[in-house]
Amino acid sequence: MEGRSVDEYSAPLFIAWQLTNRCSARCITCCEESGPGAAWPDELRRNEALDLARRIVESGIPYAAFGGGEPLGVAHCWELFELLTEGGVALKLETDGSRIDDAAADRLAALAVQCVQISVDGATAATHARVRPGSSFAAATSAITRLVARGQPPQLVFVPNRFNVHEIVAAYELAIALGCSAFVTGPMMRIGRAAAAWDQIACSDEDWQRAVNALRDRAGKTDARIALSIYPWDIVTEMDRRLESPQAMLLVVPNGKVKLLNALPFAPADLRRDSIPQAWHAYKNAWRTSEVREFIANCRAHPGLLRHANETWPMGANRE
């Protein structure tokens, strides 16, 4: 809640849970460096994941957002969704859409998933394929069509870069034509695979601002029922803002460790070992440490530090 301190909450308001680091594509802008052979060797097993889901329900956490990798590629994902839904937890799903056939669309509609975000990084199949090698434009747009037909219009997520920023307005128009509930975009995050190739793939600040202006101008001329959501911050600014006001959430990576933010390598808790209250306490305390504060302060002058984003550092470890 805007303006409220994270310390006012006895439990997180939501869980952001990366079920796996494996997916079928090697997107050039991927924050997590996911891919076909990129599953972590110590990802939570089915019984461990189901146990964590039960603990989420028992803790009264109202919202869980699933990402990855590709969460629908995890065999036990539907068991988790059903367990959480039955426990009163609202769900969000971030996906490439490739596994949303008619049967999966029926299941998502039956679960009344609150938000489905489907990544489409171009207004054309060719651009989408260039930005998301191994991902299917046809599969993504077909998944959108299936969910819209079932009264569950998803959000279309578009990550701008040098190769697709010129298509951003056309992609917004595609989202309208497909019946999406929202068009979601924002500056490309300088972490993961995107950071490794930043100089080759990032669009200029000027190109991004022109794209934002064009989007807003186009949105002002439509009467379509679609929200336009433009995230305002680059990743370093987000870290600065979260240091001032941390989110009331826990980010759970595939092996059950809890991180502060996807751009920060610190992992103050491990849900294989710790209870959710213990993890919540450790999360809040970690944000106050000089270790985290100094790392964030150094990132603006030394963006190479962001190459550590997908690591999981224990707090207070000697990294000399």
Q: What is the CATH number of domain 12-308?
A: 3.20.20.70
Domain range list for the chain? 12-308
Please report, in tens digits, the pLDDT of each residue of the chain (320 residues total): 344 789 899 999 999 999 999 999 999 999 999 999 999 999 999 999 999 999 999 999 999 999 999 999 999 999 999 999 999 999 999 999 999 999 999 999 999 999 999 999 999 999 999 999 999 999 999 999 999 999 999 999 999 999 999 999 999 999 999 999 999 999 999 999 999 999 999 999 999 999 999 999 999 999 999 999 999 999 999 999 999 999 999 999 999 999 999 999 999 999 999 999 999 999 999 999 999 999 999 999 999 999 999 999 999 876 55
Other CB atoms within 10 A of residue 138 CB: 11
| Nearest-angstrom CA–CA distance, 45 and 255 | 9
| Model pLDDT, residue 320 | 52
Other CB atoms within 10 A of residue 228 CB: 16
166 close to 144: Cβ distance less than 8 angstroms: no
Is the torsion defined by CA of 262, 268, 273, 275 positive or negative? negative
- Is residue 192 reached through a cis peptide bond, with omega within 30 degrees of 0 on the bond before it? no
| Model pLDDT, residue 5 | 82
| Nearest-angstrom CA–CA distance, 176 and 320 | 52
| Model pLDDT, residue 4 | 73
Strand partners, 160: none
97 close to 144: Cβ distance less than 8 angstroms: yes
| Model pLDDT, residue 317 | 78
76 close to 46: Cβ distance less than 8 angstroms: yes
pTM over 0.85: yes
